[in-house]
Structure 1
Amino acid sequence: MLALFLSVLFSVTIVFIFKYFSRFGVDTFQALIVNYITCVVVGWLASGAPSLEPLRAGGAWLVAAVALGGLFIGTFYLVAITAQRVGVSAASVANKMSLILPVLFNLLVLRLSQRPYTFINYAGMALALLAILLTALPRRSTAAAPDGTAPAAAWWLPLLLFVSSGAGDSLLNFASSTLLPDAATRTLFPLVTFATAGTIGLLILLSRVAKGGQQFAAKNVLAGIILGIPNYFSIYFLIKALGNFGNDGAFVYPIANVATILLGAVGAAFLFREQLGARGRVGLATAVVALVLISYQEIVAAF
């Protein structure tokens, strides 16, 4: 349970760092590229310069790591354009609701649940989705985006974000359960994933710089380094949490997402004085109930 808690803690830290980006005028895309490079360096140092033998041998795990890296940077881009053209809340909802896909993938394809997924667990899952909707669903608005696009005209962006985010989580669950047979491979997998995302992002940035459309700022480097440290450990501990719970994504992903919402809301209230409306408070209460229902077997076992 400690690995899962640490993954949530680092995930929430990432959200808070992004909040400060807007305050200090940090270019998020540039910082994200530096963040991925930082993830590789931190992971390399934290693992004590791991063996590269699995990398030289290649295999399905390497293909999965490269594909996941592409999904990482692609999903981030979709979050950005969905927030711009449809709304921040719509992007948040689509990203969070995507937990449906890895849960169904785990239950129907991997079938790795360590305990029977009972009616109580399914009720908790339904409440988790309701909690996400209550805390992130945007208020009705007919305002157009800054580029003139009406939100309704870009309905496909949240859908694509939903699929991309869910596919990434499902692929991570599949790789963790099937493609990582030893410690060396498990260590290299996130490093290759982050390296791929960073390489793709760097190529895009260099193309923009060459066209004169963007300049690189030093403060974005510092911001990317600060972001990269918790980002690496959020994925590192997520993989460990999946392993600790028998790669049971049907348990891990709902717990991780709902706990991130809860801890993020509490932290935002203290750090940024953000206030939730009545619907948001009901959403947080619903999230607490969802956590209890999803993990009630573990709670009973603990007592």
Structure 2
Amino acid sequence: MFYLFLAVLCSASIGLIFKYTETRNTNRYVITSANYFIAFVTSLIMIVYQGLLTGVTREVPFVDDVRLMLGNNQHMLTPYSSIVWGVSVGALAGVFFFLSFIFYQKSVKDNGVGISGTFGKLGILIPMIFSIIIWREYPTSIQWVGIVLSLISIVVVNLSKQSIKKFDFKPTVLLLFVFGGMAEFSNKIYQQYALNDYKDIFLFTIFFVAFIISVTYTINKKAKVTKKDILTGFAVGIPNLFSSYFLIMSLETVRTSVAFPIYSAGSIVLINLGGLLIYRETLARKNQVAIAMTIIALILINA
């Protein structure tokens, strides 16, 4: 649970940094590219420092190892196969990470911030549902109550009467939900079958692929690059990397159906408290209710 707390802390840090940029003229595309850049460079340094690619030999063919994995959910891939699996899943995850960012921007234009924020956060339902179906990670009855409460708190904190009235369903919000959920689910897919020792290779691949796509998109948009945006992206990139790093570590001991509600709802609580303490924001009544619900949910989930 300690690693999950660190993941929540890193995730909330990202939100608080972006909150700082809300009142300033910044380019989100440049910030995103810089964020991916510093994340993949940091993970590359960690790979080299630990010598993760040194002395790895192919004990069995990757395809045969995957075949064993598909036949037995408890099978762990060999070091060589873990690296190939990390690169394969990481490349796909990098695409999902970037697409979730793009469709969040599009959904905000089509559906507003409230609806987009809600569906983006509710993307955690995808790893939750799949983990229950595929790996039979069933929460206890009390944990179910906490999970439902945490999901309701996500809706409460993001939605308002105005956003509901203005809501006219557009495909972008559904794509945001799917891509965001699949990006998070990739962490579980890697952790379930590969050796955790090689997670830095998985994370490097995610952010390297996302960076290549993002920087290409940014160039095509002819976005103006400023030092401020690059530095902001660097500030976001470190907690972004380690939120996934610690989340993967937490999934070793915490059920996916439990970890993701805590991860998402806990981040919302810390962002709101950070807004109150750092930016002197006033907490709206619905946010106070959502925080109270989340705290109760966290107690029940950990019961």
Q: Which moved more, 1:193-202 or 1:126-135?
A: 126-135
1:236 aligns with 2:240: no
* In structure 2, C-alpha distance between the alignment counterparts of 1:12 and 1:70, rounded to whole Å: 23
Instruction: Give the count of matched residue pairs.
Output: 278
* In structure 1, C-alpha distance between the alignment counterparts of 2:164 and 2:142, rounded to whole Å: 39
1:251 aligns with 2:258: yes
Mapping of 1:115-154 within 5 angstroms? 117-141=139-163, 151-152=167-168, 154=169
Aligned equivalent of 1:170, options 174, 185, 190: 185
- Cα deviations by residue, 1:192-243 (Å, 9 ceiling, x for unpaired): 110000011111122233xxxx332222211111111111111111111112
Superposition deviation, residue 249 in structure 1: 0.8
* In structure 1, C-alpha distance between the alignment counterparts of 2:173 and 2:196, rounded to whole Å: 37
Q: Which residue of structure 2 aligns with residue 35 of structure 1? A: 35
Gaps of 5+ in 1: 144-149, 297-303
CA contact (8 A) 1:50 1:188 kept: no
* In structure 1, C-alpha distance between the alignment counterparts of 2:214 and 2:151, rounded to whole Å: 32
CA root-mean-square deviation:
2.2
The structure 1 segments of at least 4 consecutive aligned residues displaced by more than 4 Å after TM superposition are 53-58
Gaps of 5+ in 2: 57-78
Q: Which moved more, 1:133-142 or 1:191-200?
A: 133-142
Q: Which residue of structure 2 aligns with residue 107 of structure 1? A: 132
Identical-residue share of aligned pairs (%): 26
* In structure 2, C-alpha distance between the alignment counterparts of 1:5 and 1:106, rounded to whole Å: 21
1:98 aligns with 2:123: yes
**Alpha carbons of structure 1 residues 45 and 89: separation in structure 2 relative to 1, 3 Å:** same
* In structure 2, C-alpha distance between the alignment counterparts of 1:193 and 1:142, rounded to whole Å: 34
Superposition deviation, residue 117 in structure 1: 2.2
Aligned equivalent of 1:287, options 294, 298, 301: 294
**Alpha carbons of structure 1 residues 104 and 56: separation in structure 2 relative to 1, 3 Å:** closer
* In structure 1, C-alpha distance between the alignment counterparts of 2:218 and 2:18, rounded to whole Å: 19
**Alpha carbons of structure 1 residues 60 and 89: separation in structure 2 relative to 1, 3 Å:** same
- Cα deviations by residue, 1:83-142 (Å, 9 ceiling, x for unpaired): 22211111110011122211111111122x3xx622211111111111111111132258
**Alpha carbons of structure 1 residues 165 and 261: separation in structure 2 relative to 1, 3 Å:** same
Superposition deviation, residue 285 in structure 1: 1.1
TM-score (norm 2): 0.85
Q: Which moved more, 1:82-91 or 1:12-21?
A: 82-91
SS in 1 for 2:161: coil
* In structure 2, C-alpha distance between the alignment counterparts of 1:157 and 1:138, rounded to whole Å: 19
**Alpha carbons of structure 1 residues 77 and 44: separation in structure 2 relative to 1, 3 Å:** same
* In structure 1, C-alpha distance between the alignment counterparts of 2:117 and 2:45, rounded to whole Å: 33
* In structure 1, C-alpha distance between the alignment counterparts of 2:116 and 2:211, rounded to whole Å: 22
CA contact (8 A) 1:99 1:253 kept: yes
